[in-house]
Amino acid sequence: MNISGQFRPVATPHTDNTQPVGELLAQGLELVEELTLKLQKLDSLMLTGKPNEISEAAASVEVALNDAAPAFAEIAEAMGRLGASNLAAAAAQLRHIEQEDEAGLAEALRGALTRFAKRSVNASRRAQQLNRGLSAALRSLQALGVQEAGRLIAEA
């Protein structure tokens, strides 16, 4: 596959007032690894049935995602400066301008994001199953005449 002509000419991957692409990619990789660990913890906790810990872990993932947003915006901006629409194209452009280490970081970040996305889908499915199970259990309790459904929901 020939990729020539896909990129605009770029003299340098960063300007004086921006962080070097390699540093941005390394930071992004660290953030994704941290997010993955938090997501793994949340996914594992969903199997334990401990609602307080699940809630804390979910909040931790949400905060980490919000905190990571500016870094990923900078990465997207750097990819735009490279004339690349995604990390695979960024890696190819970085190789084209002979920045092999940065290209490797772009590929590593792409792989880490792919793994994170798969884990996120799995955790989301588990959360939906947990929610359906809790809802079914609460409906069953209500059918048996339990009047304190609000309290049961809060405890669940």
Q: Does residue 32 fall inside a structural domain?
A: yes
Asked if residues 26 and 102 have their Cβ atoms less than 8 Å apart, the reply is: no
Q: Does residue 93 fall inside a structural domain?
A: yes
Domain that holds residue 83: 21-121
Distance (Å, whole) CA 138 – CA 8: 59
Q: Give the pLDDT of the chain (156 residues) as one tens digit per residue.
A: 444 444 444 444 444 456 889 999 999 999 999 999 999 999 899 888 788 898 899 999 999 999 999 999 999 999 998 889 999 999 999 988 888 999 999 999 999 999 999 999 988 998 888 888 878 877 777 777 655 555 555 555
Q: How many residues are there in the chain? A: 156
Based on the structure, what is the number of domains in the chain? 1
Going from the C-alpha of 78 to that of each of 67, 118, 132, 156, the distances in angstroms are 19, 25, 42, 45
